[in-house]
Amino acid sequence: MSIFQPVTLVTGGSSGIGAALARVFAEHGHEVAVVARREPQLAAVADAIAASGAKKPHVIAIDLARSDSPARIAHELLARGLEPGIVVNNAGFGLFGPAAELDRAQQLDMIDVNVRTLTDLSLRWIDSLIRHKGGILNVASLAGFLPGPGMAVYYATKAYVLSFTESLHRELKPRGVRVTALCPGPVRTEFQRRAGMGERLPGLLVRPADKVAREGYEAFMQGRPLVVPGLGNKILASLPRLLPRRVTAGLVAASQRNRRKAKSSAWPRRRQGPTE
């Protein structure tokens, strides 16, 4: 029997969907540890959760873009007598624009955070997840179902997350471990600003972060492999089954061109750091 306290580990927990997921898990009695690079924002999230009457989350300030971040998280948890019973991989970022025009190093960083770090954190504590009959909730995206001209690397990373998570669901279900992919469409968070996408979002597809988090939590607790919040997003996720891939790619490319035009007509905004 483990001497360590089980905890729900939430990455990218300083804002947006990650903070909302931390709140939902805490509301339902889970002991939570939030991880992100911005300690003041993490502390504010933890204080707000404690003020709501739930147990105050543990705060772990680590930049998920660092190659050693999974090992550093493991060391920090060990030092506090904690081990994951549930892993929520929410940290990630996107960059908007043609791949040939975007910074190559930043695009490779995106693969590191969205793919490599998520994979490491998903596999690192399998024995602990089995012991605690817990699981993994990976935040993918509606983008994972579609080819993504205009955000090619980001869409590709989310396709990986979706495929990897669905496969893990099959592999680990017989061992009592739940694995779920949460695939939201547009959500009003810092993601759009940091990706350089501007502020305009397709209204019919947008869902608030708290609703997305609650739908993700419910699907995970029910042991479902996949959840796409919102009817409009469910319809879009089905397009690759109904249309040829080249047609779907053309529709995405047209949508991104319109977004670029809208962005270029707005006041310029300074792009900030990519990760939570």
Question: For residue 107, which amino acid is it?
Answer: Q
The two tokens of residue 214 are 């609650």
Distance of CA 3 to the CA centre of its chain: 30
CB 135 within 8 A of CB 177: yes
Which burial class, exposed, middle or buried, applies to 123 when counting CB atoms under 10 A from its CB (0-12, 13-18, 19+)? middle
CB 114 within 8 A of CB 220: no
- What residues form DSSP beta bridges with 36? 61
The two tokens of residue 119 are 């994979």
A 10 A CB-CB count for 22 gives 31
Active site residue 154: yes
Tell me if residue 132 falls in helix, strand or coil.
coil
Among 162, 94, 93, CA closest to 122: 162
Residues assigned a catalytic role: 154
